[in-house]
Amino acid sequence: TVSISKHDEL
Amino acid sequence: MNVFRLIGDMSHLAAIIILLIKIWRSRSCSGISGKSQLLFTAVFTCRYLDLFTNFVSIYNTTMKIFFLASSYATIYLIFMKFKATYNRNHDTFRFELLIVVSVILALLINHEFSATEILWTFSIYLEAVAILPQLFMITKTGEAESITSHYLFALGSYRGLYILNWIYRYYVEGHLDWIAVLSGIVQTGLYCDFFYLYITRVMKGKNLTLPA
């Protein structure tokens, strides 16, 4: 599932 | 990081640089939609607010800084330095609508109802439709300079490559952000007819003239 705290994409 | 996302980011970077070169060298922003550039600047501004709070990597930070700086530079060139060459009468898409719909969607459909997360979601939805004023302008003028079509090809390809990146991350890392994926599919879909024209015409050295 998505880790919203770290959006690691540009 | 994976090869799809890296090539995607390079394609995005190339698009931004192609546009800056086109405007700077020709000293003109004719055929360029200032509204789309304003939307892209809003996308980067809302998405990269975590620039100083959420450190991911040197690459991530430098790319964010470059994207922010180059998008503000682009709107400066369009609306200030070369504003005499801006085709305001051809850039008539109602982009306010895109902003309002993206804001409402971001408030309704998001991963977490927090300021930064809603702004991030807004930037994702807005980016999906930000190219519409530019595509609308090309249908209105019926043609595009070849450099503008290269810009659009690079810009459209970037999110298409991100879709491959998301497929890779889903199967390899179990990572899935369905808001980004669905928006990315819509965004890439909007380029389909342009991609067809680009591949069947521009690649053969013809100009990108839309069937009237």
State pLDDT tens for residues B54-80. Answer: 999 999 999 999 999 999 999 999 999
- Whether B64 has its CB under 8 Å from any CB of chain A: the answer is yes
Whole-number Å distance between alpha carbons of B50 and B31 = 33
State pLDDT tens for residues B106-165. Answer: 999 999 999 999 999 999 999 999 999 999 999 999 989 999 999 999 999 999 999 999
Indicate yes or no: CB of A2 within 8 angstroms of CB of B56.
Answer: no
State pLDDT tens for residues B161-184. Answer: 999 999 999 999 999 999 999 999
Looking up tokens 């300021």 gives B115
Nearest CB among B9, B54, B176 relative to A1 is that of B176
Interface of A with B in 1-10 (CB under 8 A): 1-10
Looking up tokens 């003028």 gives B141
Query: Which chain B residues have a beta carbon less than 8 Å from that of A7?
Result: 47, 50, 54, 120, 177
Query: Which chain B residues have a beta carbon less than 8 Å from that of A3?
Result: 175
Residue B11: closest CA among B191, B182, B208, B179: B191
Half-sphere exposure of B19 (CA within 13 A, CB side): 30
Nearest CA to CA, how far is A1 from chain B (Å)?
5
Residue B77: closest CA among B39, B136, B37, B123: B37
Looking up tokens 């998008």 gives B71
For chain B, where are the E strands, in sequence order? 143-144, 208-209
Query: Is B106 in contact with B79 (CB distance < 8 Å)?
Result: no
Query: Is B179 in contact with B128 (CB distance < 8 Å)?
Result: no
Note the pLDDT of residue A5.
54
Query: Which chain A residues have a beta carbon less than 8 Å from that of B50?
Result: 7
Q: How many domains does chain B have?
A: 1
Query: Which chain A residues have a beta carbon less than 8 Å from that of B165?
Result: 9
Note the pLDDT of residue B37.
98
Whole-number Å distance between alpha carbons of B9 and B21 = 18
- Within 10 A of B7 (CB to CB), how many other CB atoms are there? 16
Query: Is B161 in contact with B11 (CB distance < 8 Å)?
Result: yes
For B126-182, where are the E strands, in sequence order? 143-144
ipTM: 0.90
Handedness of CA B159, B25, B207, B137 (dihedral sign): positive
Whole-number Å distance between alpha carbons of B99 and B77 = 23
Query: Is B34 in contact with B79 (CB distance < 8 Å)?
Result: yes
Range of the domain at B85: 3-209
Mean pLDDT of chain B: 96
Whole-number Å distance between alpha carbons of B205 and B151 = 16
Whole-number Å distance between alpha carbons of B135 and B80 = 23
Query: Is B177 in contact with B163 (CB distance < 8 Å)?
Result: no
